Amino acid sequence: MPEIKSAPLTPELYAYVLAHNPPLDPVQRALVASTRELFPDHAIKQVAQEQAPLLAFLVRLTGARHVVEVGTFTGLSALAMAQALPAGGRLIALDISEEWTAHAREAWARAGVADRIDLRIAPALDSLRALPAEPHVDLAFLDANKDGYVDYWEELVPRLRPGGLIVADNVLFMGQAADPSVTSGPGAHVRVFNEHVAADKRMESVMLTVADGLTLARRVA
Ligand SMILES: C[S@@+](CC[C@H](N)C(=O)[O-])C[C@H]1O[C@@H](n2cnc3c(N)ncnc32)[C@H](O)[C@@H]1O
């Protein structure tokens, strides 16, 4: 077994990490709170709090102008990325839920970024296939149904400009990705996705133990 060098994440250490990250801004904080209040059974779907500043950081780092999000829910990840876009930048947000994304729209309007976000309500695969076929996407964030990840990946990779980034969330699926006794459901779908990503010679990818597992993949061919 390889030597584990990661610090075990305790509640205290997690609080320390959050305290040393950029804080959520007032609209982001309110969105976290209102999502928990309005959708208590689904609030777990929202990206982890350290991921909002990380996604914003990645948008700024790459200078991304064309961002695609697959899986928007109540809009925290889209909000963080849209706020980090340069002038003229656009984020296309894909989801199937009118109800959850109505709440997202309110937060985006309050933050003054609604005009940068193009929300498309339809199965994400249809929306992705309707995007221009040529490479134009700078950064894509995958955070929807896990049984769609491989198909989303296959639609996105050819549309990425050289050096463009795919960020895929929940690639550990609470450890189920590496648990052979899990043979069906999202954990098993994520396992298939991870194999697909690791074998894709068009992309250079790294899997990180951020939150529920985050893969960063860059188009190299
Ligand atoms: C984990 S949540 C996304 C969380 C979001 N990134 C955030 O920061 O709050 C997954 C979302 O994927 C959406 N979804 C599920 N299946 C989908 C599909 N086939 N096409 C598009 N969106 C889908 C769900 O409606 C849900 O809002």
The residue type at 193 = F
ipTM over 0.90: yes
Per-residue pLDDT of the chain (221 residues; tens, 9 = 90+): 999 999 999 999 999 999 999 999 999 999 999 999 999 999 999 999 999 999 999 999 999 999 999 999 999 999 999 999 999 999 999 999 999 999 999 999 999 999 999 999 999 999 999 999 999 999 999 999 999 999 999 999 999 999 999 999 999 999 999 999 999 999 999 999 999 999 999 999 999 999 999 999 999 99
State in Å: Cα 5 to ligand 1 middle. 33
CA–CA separation, 164 and 65 (whole Å): 11
* pLDDT score at 17: 97
* pLDDT score at 150: 99
Contact 123 CB / ligand 1 (< 6 Å): yes
Task: State the DSSP code for 147.
Answer: G
Contact 169 CB / ligand 1 (< 6 Å): no
| CATH pick for 11-219 out of 1.20.1070.10, 3.30.360.10, 3.90.320.10, 3.40.50.150 | 3.40.50.150
* Residues sharing a CB contact under 8 Å with residue 213, sequence separation 6 or more, in sequence order: 169, 170, 171, 172, 173, 177, 207
* Domain residue ranges of the chain, discontinuous segments joined by +: 11-219
* Residues sharing a CB contact under 8 Å with residue 45, sequence separation 6 or more, in sequence order: 73
Q: Which residue has a Cα nearest atom 16 of ligand 1?
A: 145
pTM of the predicted structure, to 2 decimals: 0.98
* pLDDT score at 36: 98
State in Å: Cα 32 to ligand 1 middle. 16
Contact 128 CB / ligand 1 (< 6 Å): no
State in Å: Cα 45 to ligand 1 middle. 8
Its sign, for the CA torsion 85, 15, 175, 184, is negative
State in Å: Cα 11 to ligand 1 middle. 27
